[in-house]
Structure 1
């Protein structure tokens, strides 16, 4: 078994909402650096809650989370905001692009917000990987949905984050655009050395990952390495049987 250093670690995570609704029930997980991990599970299994807790977007009820050597659960809200800005990339189903900025300005926005200059070599490598060199001066409304989502991915990768979290990133895309986007995330891992963690319900999307983690009822219930769509589908069917 190859040992991969850990980018994100969670220990004993629980999350309970409002009237005792338990979304996570004691999750321990290591997410490996320089790897592409997919998180899957039936609706209501806790997969988005897990991502939000390990990405510092939500605080767990109990348990601890580390990104690298930094324990998130010890940080103040202001410190968490800085950590998310400087060390984490996010890709959501909604592209979250600013309509008045060009594609290039949207990609380099994190640097503008932090008052830093981007490394032109890194920007060029990301733009090349995302295949948008001829679209850089276009505004979001002049781009297709797939191109807008690739701009959002490029923005998430360009700051050299410790980890990129993608929450159903292909949810609003057709199958051709989805395949392009997933291939780009895969290249981010293979060519740029990034760490990607993606929540998805799509077995085909999961095949781009090195490892798939399965959740059911707030518990981590298994994993697949080097997944195929058929194996993912079989595992999901058995989990949905459990949850039915």
Structure 2
């Protein structure tokens, strides 16, 4: 991360985590991991009515890293929460694979989130009494499933935790705790991982490492990752950036660079879009 608080760009990050430098990028298959069609989310009624998402349509393709950006109040976190089944939708469609989220009963929705979706948030959400390994495998333990040992070993190697598995969260740095959270999201081999500002609570080096691990999980493991971020440098780790403003998608940038993303964000400020 630069002195202004942003994460280090990929070229700098690769020097920090040379042991996990990715193989050439595994191109997206073109298949859709998650999809929204005319997705609308409204909060409140009457004078308090707020349209957080206004007929949003977007595909999140398999084996692709997508960043979602926009001004405060643009709907970026709401989009992620609706797509991840963490918030209900008001109208339209939200799908994970072929499964429509709207209308799913609580039990089915819980199973879908547990078995098919991975989550990474600013707060690490680790249980302090469990070891790193126990935290990583906890969702599978709750589901009554045994981890796939070769896959788990590969995930642990990818995030560089092999020598920390017996440590409890209190014995780990913030960056190491977030690595545990990343490994937990990957360990069940979900169809898609959603991250809400996953480096927001980390220092520069740790933030760069986590972004590198997420990028490598796409390139080396074929994972699908969707990340909400406010940082142009963090967004540059992604394969594409979707920009939201006033609850609508206003641009879709492939192969982003920090400079191009920052320029887009400046345009939002110039137009006076605020929360």
Q: Same fold (TM over 0.5)?
A: yes
Q: Name the structure 2 match of 1:158.
A: 187
Q: Name the structure 1 match of 2:74.
A: 45
Q: Name the structure 1 match of 2:231.
A: 202
Partner-residue secondary structure (3-state), 1:191: helix
Match for residue 83 of structure 1 among 98, 102, 112? 112
RMSD: 1.0
Match for residue 182 of structure 1 among 188, 191, 211? 211
Q: Name the structure 2 match of 1:67.
A: 96
Q: Name the structure 1 match of 2:146.
A: 117
Whether 1:93 and 2:122 are equivalent positions in the alignment is: yes
Contact 2:151 2:187 in 1 (8 A): yes
Whether 1:239 and 2:268 are equivalent positions in the alignment is: yes
Q: Which moved more, 1:233-242 or 1:53-62?
A: 233-242
Q: Name the structure 2 match of 1:22.
A: 51
CA–CA distance in structure 2, aligned partners of residues 122 and 241 of structure 1: 47
Whether 1:211 and 2:237 are equivalent positions in the alignment is: no
Match for residue 37 of structure 2 among 6, 11, 28? 11
Q: Name the structure 1 match of 2:5.
A: none
Q: Which moved more, 1:105-114 or 1:70-79?
A: 70-79
CA–CA distance in structure 1, aligned partners of residues 188 and 219 of structure 2: 17
* 4+ long deviations beyond 4 Å: none
Contact 2:29 2:62 in 1 (8 A): no
Contact 2:53 2:79 in 1 (8 A): yes
How many angstroms does 1:41 deviate by? 0.3
Residues 55-82 of structure 1, C-alpha deviations (whole Å, 9 max, x = no match): 1000111111111111111311111010
CA–CA distance in structure 2, aligned partners of residues 237 and 137 of structure 1: 45
Match for residue 222 of structure 1 among 216, 230, 251? 251
Contact 2:76 2:228 in 1 (8 A): yes
How many angstroms does 1:3 deviate by? 6.6
CA–CA distance in structure 2, aligned partners of residues 133 and 97 of structure 1: 18
Q: Which blocks of at least 5 consecutive residues in structure 1 are unaligned?
A: none
Contact 2:64 2:239 in 1 (8 A): yes
CA–CA distance in structure 2, aligned partners of residues 60 and 188 of structure 1: 29
Partner-residue secondary structure (3-state), 1:22: strand
